[in-house]
Amino acid sequence: MLGASGASVLFGDSTVNDEWRSGLRARMGYWFDSRRRIGIEGSFFGLEQASTEFNAGSAGTPILARPFFDALANQQAAALSAFPGLVAGSVNINETSRFLGADALYRQQIGSWGSEHFSVLIGYRYLHSSDKLGIATTATVTLVGGGVPVGTTFNVSDSFNATSNFHGLDLGIIGEFTQGPWLLEWRAKVALGANFNEAQINGSTTTISGGATATLPGGLLALSSNVGSYSQTRFAVVPELALKVGHQFAPGWHIMGGYDLIYWTGVQRTGNLIDTTVNPNLLPPSTGLGGPQRPQFQFNRHRSWPRVSALA
C-alpha cells in the first residue's frame, strides 16, 4: 500500500496527456468591400489526440496493487492483482484526450495607419474537450486451500469519461502589419458563454471459476455510490491570445503559422471524477452493511491552458 517500505507508484503520480501537442487551424473569410474593411470569417482547429497506456503483469513477484483509502478502517489499503503465493495478475490503464474548436466572426476595420490595420471581431465560439480513462485489472488465485478455488480469476474494470462543450459570444480585436507579401497578425479575444459538462462512470467485476462466469456491477473506484451519468451547465470564460506570421502566395490566399494561447475555465477532466476513498462494504458483492457512500461523485472545475501551433 502507499507509504509502505519499498512501495513505489508505477502510474498516476504525475499528470497524464499534459505535454505539448501539435495542431492545425484552417480559416476562411470573405470581404464585402474592395478596401477590405468589412468581412466575415470562420475557422476550425484541432489538436492531435493524445493517448497514454500502462500495462504491467506479475506472477506474484513483484507485487502489483491498486491503492485506495479505506473509509471504514480510516487507513490506506490496496486491492491486490499480484502477490507471492496468493494471486497472479495484471493492471492495464488507458487514457485518451481530445481538444478542438471552431468560430464564426464578423470583422470590422476601425483604423488604419499606413501598413498597420486594426479591426474588431464579434461572433460565436465553440470548444470541445473530452477525456476517457479505463482501468482494468485481473487477479488469478494461486493459493491452495484458501477458501477460493485455485484458478479463479477476478476481472475488475473502472471507466471514467468526461466531456465539456462550450458555446459563447466571441469578442476581439486584431492588429495587422503588412510588408509586401508578408503579414504579421496578433489577436486578443475573449468568449463569454456556458460550459455543458457531462460525465459517465461505470464499473464491473467479473468472476470466472470452474467454467462459470458471473458479472456484478461495480469495480474498485466505480461503485454504486458514484456510478452513473451526470450533467452540469455553468458560466465559463475563454480568453485567447494569438500571434501569427503569414505569406501571401496567391491573390486572396495566405499561409500562416503561429502560436495560440487559450485559457478555458470550468473544463471537466477525468482525473477530477476519481474519488480514491472507498467503503469496502460497497465492493461487489456488496454486503449493504452500512458506512459512508464512498467513492462519491462531484463535478470539479478545472482550468485548461491548451497550446495550439496552428496553420491557417
Asked if residue 164 belongs to a domain, the reply is yes
C-alpha triplet 69, 219, 209: angle, nearest 5°: 120
| 168-199: pLDDT as tens digits | 999 999 999 988 888 899 999 999 999 999 99
Q: Residue with C-alpha cell 476513498?
A: 277
Is residue 218 within 8 A of residue 226, CB to CB? The reply is no
User: What does the pLDDT read at residue 303?
Assistant: 57
User: What does the pLDDT read at residue 306?
Assistant: 43
Q: Which amino acid is at 142?
A: T
User: What does the pLDDT read at residue 17?
Assistant: 62
Distance CA 225, CA 288 (A): 12
Asked if residue 64 belongs to a domain, the reply is yes
Whether residue 301 has pLDDT greater than 90 = no
Asked if residue 293 belongs to a domain, the reply is yes
What domain count does the chain have? 1
Whether residue 307 has pLDDT greater than 50 = no
Side-chain-side CA neighbours of 168 within 13 Å: the count stands at 25
| 116-169: pLDDT as tens digits | 889 999 999 999 999 999 999 999 999 988 789 999 999 999 999 999 999 999
Contacts of 203 (CB under 8 A, 6+ apart): 156, 157, 158, 159, 217, 218, 219, 220, 221, 222, 223, 227
Contacts of 79 (CB under 8 A, 6+ apart): 65, 66, 68, 137, 156, 220
Mean pLDDT of 43-63: 91
Mean pLDDT of 220-234: 95
Q: How confident is the model at residue 308 (pLDDT cuts 50, 70, 90)?
A: very low
Asked if residue 249 belongs to a domain, the reply is no
Asked if residue 255 belongs to a domain, the reply is no
Q: Grid coordinates standing for 40?
A: 466575415
Asked if residue 7 belongs to a domain, the reply is no
- The 3-state secondary structure of 86-135 reads CEEEEEEEEEEEEEEEEEEEEEEEEEEECCEEEEEEEEEEEEEEEEEEEE
> Coil, strand, or helix at residue 201?
strand
Mean pLDDT of 76-90: 94
- Quote the domain boundaries for residue 121: 23-239+263-311
User: What does the pLDDT read at residue 305?
Assistant: 47
DSSP code, position 83 = B
Question: In this predicted structure, which of 24-28, 69-73, 239-243 has the lowest mean pLDDT?
Answer: 24-28
| 260-284: pLDDT as tens digits | 889 999 999 888 899 999 999 999 9
User: What does the pLDDT read at residue 6?
Assistant: 54
Asked if residue 202 belongs to a domain, the reply is yes
Strand partners, 96: 51, 132
Is residue 281 within 8 A of residue 178, CB to CB? The reply is no
Distance CA 24, CA 118 (A): 25
Question: In this predicted structure, which of 1-10, 201-210, 243-252 has the lowest mean pLDDT?
Answer: 1-10
Asked if residue 81 belongs to a domain, the reply is yes
Radius of gyration of the chain (CA): 26
Q: How confident is the model at residue 76 (pLDDT cuts 50, 70, 90)?
A: very high
Distance CA 255, CA 26 (A): 10
Distance CA 132, CA 201 (A): 10
| 201-224: pLDDT as tens digits | 999 999 999 889 999 999 999 999
DSSP code, position 306 = -
Is residue 242 within 8 A of residue 184, CB to CB? The reply is no
Q: Grid coordinates standing for 6?
A: 519499498
Whether residue 16 has pLDDT greater than 50 = yes
DSSP code, position 272 = G
Q: What is the dihedral of CA 58, 62, 65, 70, to 10 degrees?
A: 150
Distance CA 294, CA 297 (A): 9
User: What does the pLDDT read at residue 3?
Assistant: 52
